[in-house]
Amino acid sequence: MKIKNNYQTSPCIICVALTGSVPRKKHNKNIPISINEQIESAHECFEEGATIAHCHVRNNDESISFSPDKFFKLKEGLRKFCHGMVIQFSTGGRYSLGKERGKMLSIKPDMASLSVGSNNFPNSVYSNPPELIDWLIEEMNKYKIKPEIEIFDLSHLFKAAELYKDNKITGSPYIQFVMGIKNAMPADKSVFNFYIKKIDKLFKEASWCAAGIGKYQYKINEWCIKKGGHTRTGMEDNIRLNKNMLAPSNASLVKLTANICKINKRPIANWKQTRQILGLPLKFN
Ligand code: MG
């Protein structure tokens, strides 16, 4: 008799990465760029089961922005139209802007992404110097923001463990592996399995998810859902519904992920369960 995997009954969090900093309307006209488009898109995704919105903001010309005003408006809209959804701001800086990447943290999102090491991207260096990492953590702790720790390479996982041991990251860590970016970590199953095993060894308790970039999105969703992790989808990472078709919306990608949960009998976490899993308050402002 096959032993039942406990994970099968544990709710799976679906995060939607709405916009990111790279794709433009010329790549897929359906990508939400303005704050209103982002709120509308998040609302559709929330209805399909996504309970974390990973947020970047853009200027009118679609270039990346770190404007606290824009982040404030986005948070306000998400609170109003997606009640309970976890709001996660990106402090990622493909264009390496130093502390500018964290100046919106005073707006107090529920979560913020936190990169803990440097690596290469397809055409650039993703630079996260130690002093910037320390400063971002201090800011997140100051405003009681839960970090989502981004792992783009093996050394990042060990850095996260060190930060956890030193009590700089408190509570139960939430760790995300990013796989399939050219020049960084490949979408390789044995590497994925190794990382998950390593989490158990390095942290007393931690939850994890993974994001697959481009054509790897669906596959990584499957790996996470089958292995008991949480998962991420959205047009930041992948603009296609399948090989032959651009995604008509973020919600269409969330639907695909929700369907993988269904196939594998994983319930999808609602916003209250998501907040419980992440140790976030059920009352918030
Ligand atoms: Mg991002």
Q: How many domains does the chain have?
A: 1
Tell me, yes or no, whether 133 lies in a domain. Answer: yes
Tell me, yes or no, whether 213 lies in a domain. Answer: yes
pLDDT of 2 higher than 80: no
Mean pLDDT, all residues of the chain: 95
Q: Which tokens belong to 191?
A: 């590497």
Question: Average of pLDDT values for 248-262?
Answer: 98
Tell me, yes or no, whether 69 lies in a domain. Answer: yes
Domain that holds residue 59: 14-277
Q: 101 alpha carbon to ligand 1 midpoint, in Å?
A: 12
Q: 267 alpha carbon to ligand 1 midpoint, in Å?
A: 25
Distance CA 107, CA 277 (A): 23
Any idea what the CATH number is for the domain that residue 241 is in? 3.20.20.70
User: Cβ neighbours of residue 95 under 8 Å, at least 6 residues apart?
Assistant: 21, 64
List, as ranges, residues with CB under 5 A of the ion ligand 1: 90, 92
Counting every residue written for the chain, the total comes to 285
Question: Average of pLDDT values for 200-225?
Answer: 96
Q: 5 alpha carbon to ligand 1 midpoint, in Å?
A: 31
> In terms of pLDDT, which residue wins out, 124 or 95?
124
How many C-beta neighbours within 10 Å does residue 127 have?
16
Q: 62 alpha carbon to ligand 1 midpoint, in Å?
A: 15
Tell me, yes or no, whether 4 lies in a domain. Answer: no
The per-residue pLDDT for range 11-61, each reduced to its tens digit, is 999 999 999 999 999 999 999 999 999 999 999 999 999 999 999 999 999
User: pTM to 2 decimals?
Assistant: 0.96
Rg of the chain on CA atoms, in Å = 17
232 with 55: CB under 8 angstroms?
Answer: no
CA angle 188, 191, 192 (to 5 degrees): 80
Q: 1 alpha carbon to ligand 1 midpoint, in Å?
A: 42
The per-residue pLDDT for range 76-103, each reduced to its tens digit, is 999 999 999 999 999 997 766 789 999 9
pLDDT over 90, % of the chain = 93
Tell me, yes or no, whether 7 lies in a domain. Answer: no
User: Cβ neighbours of residue 156 under 8 Å, at least 6 residues apart?
Assistant: 115, 116, 117, 119, 149, 150
Tell me, yes or no, whether 103 lies in a domain. Answer: yes
Q: 188 alpha carbon to ligand 1 midpoint, in Å?
A: 21
Question: What is the per-residue pLDDT for 9?
Answer: 75
